[in-house]
Amino acid sequence: MQTIGLLGGMSWESSAVYYKLINEGVRERLGGLHSAKIVLWSAEFQDVATKQAAGDWAALLDIMIEGAQALERAGADLVLICTNTMHKLADEVAAAISIPILHIADIAAAAIKQTPSQTPLLLATRFTMEEPFYRGRMLDRHGLGLIRPEPEEERAVHDIIYRELCQGVVEPASKARCLAIIDKARGRGADGVILGCTELDLLLSQADSDLPVFDTTALHAQAAVEMALSGRETALTRTA
CA-derived radius of gyration, the chain: 17
Q: What is the DSSP letter of 5?
A: E
E strand or H helix that includes residue 194: strand 193-195
Do residues 73 and 5 touch, judged by C-beta distance below 8 A?
no
In terms of Cβ atoms closer than 10 Å to its own Cβ (0-12, 13-18, 19+), residue 51 is middle
The residues annotated with a catalytic role in the active site are: 83, 197
For residue 174, is the peptide bond before it cis, meaning its omega torsion is within 30 degrees of 0?
no
Distance CA 62, CA 59 (A): 5
